[in-house]
Amino acid sequence: MQFPYPRKTSQPPAYQPSRASTFQRRRTLRNLAPYIAGILTLILLFVYFLRPSTPTTTRAPPGTPPVVLVTTLDAKQSEHYKANIIENRKDYASRHGYSTFFPNTTDYDLMSGVPSSWSTVPAMRHALTLYPHTPWIFYLTSTALIMNPSQPLDLKVLDPRKLESLMIVDRPVVPPDSVIKTFSHLKGERIDFILTQDKEGLAGGSLLLRNGEWAKFFLDAWYDPLYRSYNFQKAEGHALEHIVQWHGTVLSKLALVPQRVLNGYTKEVAGSEEGRYQEGDFVANFHGCARDPKRNCEMEMKPLMVRWQELRDGEGRR
């Protein structure tokens, strides 16, 4: 261009009002500010308290137990054995205000020709129905004993932070080489299903299930007739492993904890050393003693049963 000096830009700078008028405006704003803030707060409170609220869940009636212990009893077991088991559970429950539930394996309509171990699933579903306000269901198989009843379950495993510290992450669900691994970033509050893993796979003898819509979905899906008719080798155990690996909505609510926390195996069971029950552990599980014809549950359980009774009576004397 032919101008002697650099041109002004075609975008002139924005209009700057004089200092006096901005000061005036700011002062009126400052005067009015409390009134404006007050009116806004009133409007917000109005909206907050009078908006249509979603129906909250009914409050649990007083006296609701925080946990229900479920154990299915087999008709093949002797009365003496069953009485011992019942005593064992009731003792633990009474110490911490829990309830117990003892259905028989024949109470539920498993299809014909289906192993009675499948009764675990409708038993838990029944517990959800009988105790609709109880937040947790603890299923423990009738081949296990609670040896150390001193700690309540929420301190031991149910508290979300404790659960997060115990959770085993990124572990193949079915060792050694399942491609499905437990999730790494699950929050304790979102976990609805806690169990342990033994050397072969998921250990279904000791399960913690949170009561709610997910529990109903999970148990009904597990109990589907097509899983029972498929004749898995380990019945509901294999069905559980199948569901966990094929359905992400189940895996995302599952947490694995170290075996000795909930489900230590005794020395008669062929298992890994880190899952072996030791004196002071919570549960001793004589896993497989009922299925294996060479073993006898009552005989195996006798020493530990006696030990448990000793410990319990010892406390009474102190």
Can you spell out the DSSP letters for 58-80? PPPPTT--SEEEE--B-TTS-HH
Residue 158 vs residues 88, 89, 119, 146, 303: alpha-carbon distances, Å: 21, 18, 25, 17, 30
Q: Is 125 in the site for another protein (CB under 8 A)?
A: yes
Least distance CB 245 / another protein (angstroms): 10
Closer to another protein at the Cβ: 222 or 265?
A: 222
Q: Is 233 in the site for another protein (CB under 8 A)?
A: no
Q: Is 97 in the site for another protein (CB under 8 A)?
A: no
CA separation for the pair 290, 267 (Å, rounded): 15
Q: Is 28 in the site for another protein (CB under 8 A)?
A: no
Closer to another protein at the Cβ: 20 or 226?
A: 226
Closer to another protein at the Cβ: 92 or 193?
A: 193
Q: Is 292 in the site for another protein (CB under 8 A)?
A: no
- Tell me the number of residues near another protein by CB under 8 A: 33
CA separation for the pair 56, 7 (Å, rounded): 70
Asked whether the bond before 176 is cis by omega within 30 degrees of 0, the reply is yes
Beta bridge partners, 206, equal 140
Least distance CB 265 / another protein (angstroms): 28
Beta bridge partners, 254, equal 193
Q: Is 150 in the site for another protein (CB under 8 A)?
A: no
**Of the residues 73, 128, 207, 269, which one makes contact with another protein according to CB under 8 A:** 128
CA separation for the pair 40, 33 (Å, rounded): 11
Q: Which two tokens stand for residue 59?
A: 């409050």
**Which residues are CB-contacts of 311 (< 8 A; sequence separation ≥ 6)?**
147
CA-based radius of gyration for the chain: 30
Contact letters for another protein, residues 206-225 (x by CB under 8 A): -------xx-xx--xx-xxx
Least distance CB 76 / another protein (angstroms): 18
> Helix (H, G, I), strand (E, B), or coil: what is residue 158?
helix
Q: Is 174 in the site for another protein (CB under 8 A)?
A: no
Contact letters for another protein, residues 248-267 (x by CB under 8 A): xxx-----------------
> Residue 183 carries which side chain, given as an amino acid letter?
F
Least distance CB 195 / another protein (angstroms): 19
> Residue 40 carries which side chain, given as an amino acid letter?
L
Residue numbers at the binding site for another protein (CB under 8 A)? 1, 10, 103, 107-109, 111, 122-123, 125-126, 128-129, 132, 213-214, 216-217, 220-221, 223-227, 229-230, 242, 246-250
